[in-house]
Structure 1
Amino acid sequence: MSDAGLCQFKSINFAGLQSGVRLVVTGAVHGNETCGTQAILRVMQELDSGALLVRRGAVTFVPVTNPLAYAKGERAGERNLNRNLFPNSNPQDFEDRVANWLCPLLAQHDVLLDLHSFNAASEPFVMVGPRNNDGPLEPFKHEQQERALARRLGVRRFVDGWLRTYGDGVQRRMNNSIELQTVLRYGMGTTEYMRSTGGYALTLECGQHDDPQAPEVAYRAILNTLAFLGLIDAPAPEPIAPEHMEALSMVAVYDKQHADDTFSRDWSSFDPVRQGEEIGRRADGTPVLAEFDGRILFPDSAAGANSEWYYMTRPNPAF
């Protein structure tokens, strides 16, 4: 039997006596990102012991969303679960089977808090969705609620623009020969799927994978979310003050064209970059220079050829 054959899916639901918001909290969408799992288990223990009590609405916890990746201690089981996340009547890999279980579960809820971590040392941040719109890429109507929750998770950095920027990269890699629906499919992860069902969602990047503070960031965010949405009796958390926020928009993705393309230094997410600064070199020695002032995001030195290498962000004063 394969490792996948030994896996099972698990979710745990706590419901209050009064009606309210239906929240779902997910951890280990990527198997090597365990801070969310640790935080979820801690909160569940407090609920089981009676130290916390769900009064209104309901919360569903998924401590390990991708059990195969988690068992391997790797980002993916057979592919990245946080791409192309749709139910599939003809599943081709383990993550397709996760999607067939996870997507209907997400659709039963109003709000998703998805807990992640990242490779290079940097501070936590939250990824938010688009402005309210009825356009074809990512129509949305819960901008105010989503951003109000984002400001109460306990972090100061906010990033938007994911699906649009990711989609630009997909179209470029495929020579602009693909339709919007293909872009949507490849860019769709947990939060994008949740928004497509009429809810709203946040991805909280809690810190570097092995940072001992990352589970604390995740734990605080869960408690703040439960309090802010009124599920537990606790003071509503205060929003972070505008003068303490750093809001950024993803505006460009740059690809690794050859496996031997290299960075010129060890970049971390949110390192500042000046226009004309050397970011890396192509395999033939051609320098890769920053096209504008901004901050780098998700630099991936281990990226394969013809895949995402790094993103660039710009300040978003309109957040």
Structure 2
Amino acid sequence: MSIETHPTHLRIHQFAGLKPGPKLLVTAAVHGNEVCGVTAIGQVIQALDSGSLRLLKGTLTLVPVVNPLAYQLGRREGERNMNRNLRPAVIAQDFEDRLAGRLCPLMAQHDVLLDLHSFQSRGQAFVMLGPRDNQHELEPFAHAAAEAMLACSLGPTRIVEGWLSTYALGLQRRKAKAGAGQTARQDLTLDPHYGVGTTEYMRSQGGYGVTLECGQHLDPQAPQVAHLAILRALALLGLVSAESVGPHRPAQAPEFLQLYEVIDRQHPGDQFAREWSSFDVVEKDQLIGTRHDGSAVLAPASGRIVFPNSMAAAGQEWCYLARPSDRTIAKQ
């Protein structure tokens, strides 16, 4: 596709309450083949336009298709992964850089972000949560309690933390291999900022937000998961009445998991030992996969496998590993 046929605008819907209140941004199709949120956002727009859902205060901004090029092509990326290395570019190098020039200021104008995604492998919906309050260099943060409350209110009862710190671990390994003279692409995957996506950028601007993985890409229930999550976020923040949505806290207590390891695919010949689904249980020393040279990839500890990607390119994340977290949430 030539640059002349690339989309030339970003569609943004905004509803401004007449009373002051929180500013919520809801995004979908950051990856163009993850479309459940597009449907859900359309339903919310229709409800607000018809009056069956009323915004009582604050601001609701909806971006149903964050990456229109990837969406138009029906694939994960346009020219690169929109959910990595997200920041305003000094000089735009690609389509996603030009999108970031619009999206990043928009995020900075809001207090809360709900980013709707889906995933390739089979598995149930879950929420990706940010770090605990800290003043560390990697991802300083001061809204952990509010963000955890949002995560626990959306519907899914499995919540995963530790994304950026685990991604940084993989980044360090890739850089070490490149520095040792091994073949490695000198591209964005070696950029220290590469692990930053929508929620990480939102936190860097003083807000907070979560990623909701609504299920497998083609799961017919995924749009319903996304729709309910938007309504529950609105109710939690007081932008709509709780009565119009129903209970915004699931009855079941959430399961918290901590990502602790990322395993890269090193060669196209690397193969998984079986067809993994996110959150399949793995035992210590269980065979996860086999490298192209026949060497075994074993689980370093008991836990769960997350984001297994049998189509990962060499040098990219093949899967993540998670274990139980001691994270808790205060009852309100």
TM-score bracket, normalised by the shorter chain, equals over 0.9
Question: What is the RMSD of the two structures over their aligned residues, measured on CA atoms?
Answer: 1.6
Q: Which of 306, 313, 316 does residue 322 from structure 2 map onto?
A: 313
The whole-number CA distance in structure 2 between the counterparts of 1:49 and 1:293 is 50
Is 1:211 the counterpart of 2:212? The answer is: no
The whole-number CA distance in structure 2 between the counterparts of 1:186 and 1:90 is 17
| Shift in alpha-carbon separation, 1:4–1:144, aligned structure 2, 3 A | farther
Cα contact 1:160–1:249 (8 A) shared by 2: yes
Structure 1 residues 59-70: aligned runs within 5 Å: 59-70=60-71
**What CA deviation, in whole Å up to 9, does each residue of 1:117-146 have, x standing for no partner?**
001110000000000011101000000100
- 1:260 aligns to what? 269
Is 1:296 the counterpart of 2:297? The answer is: no
Structure 1 residues 19-98: aligned runs within 5 Å: 19-98=20-99
**What CA deviation, in whole Å up to 9, does each residue of 1:137-168 have, x standing for no partner?**
10000001000111110110000000000011
Q: How far apart are 1:259 and its partner, in Å?
A: 1.1
The whole-number CA distance in structure 2 between the counterparts of 1:237 and 1:112 is 21
Structure 1 residues 164-313: aligned runs within 5 Å: 164-175=165-176, 184-235=192-243, 237-240=247-250, 244-313=253-322
> What is the count of residue pairs matched by the alignment?
315
Cα contact 1:25–1:113 (8 A) shared by 2: yes
The whole-number CA distance in structure 1 between the counterparts of 2:69 and 2:7 is 9
In percent, how many aligned pairs have the same letter?
Answer: 54
The whole-number CA distance in structure 1 between the counterparts of 2:161 and 2:268 is 29
Cα contact 1:171–1:183 (8 A) shared by 2: no
Which amino acid in 1 is paired with 2:144?
A: E
Which amino acid in 2 is paired with 1:264?
A: A
SS of residue paired to 1:133 = coil
Q: How far apart are 1:274 and its partner, in Å?
A: 0.3
Is 1:99 the counterpart of 2:100? The answer is: yes
- 1:12 aligns to what? 13
**What CA deviation, in whole Å up to 9, does each residue of 1:233-275 have, x standing for no partner?**
224734335x632110000001111110000100010000001
The whole-number CA distance in structure 2 between the counterparts of 1:202 and 1:167 is 19
The whole-number CA distance in structure 1 between the counterparts of 2:175 and 2:318 is 16
Which amino acid in 2 is paired with 1:41?
A: G
| Shift in alpha-carbon separation, 1:207–1:280, aligned structure 2, 3 A | same
Q: TM-score, normalised by structure 2?
A: 0.92
SS of residue paired to 1:70 = helix
The whole-number CA distance in structure 1 between the counterparts of 2:12 and 2:192 is 27
Is 1:112 the counterpart of 2:121? The answer is: no
**What CA deviation, in whole Å up to 9, does each residue of 1:51-80 have, x standing for no partner?**
111110010000000000000000000000
**What CA deviation, in whole Å up to 9, does each residue of 1:171-203 have, x standing for no partner?**
11010869xxx7651011000000000000000
Cα contact 2:306–2:319 (8 A) shared by 1: yes
SS of residue paired to 1:195 = helix
Q: How far apart are 1:2 and its partner, in Å?
A: 3.0
Cα contact 1:83–1:189 (8 A) shared by 2: yes
SS of residue paired to 1:56 = coil
| Shift in alpha-carbon separation, 1:223–1:92, aligned structure 2, 3 A | same
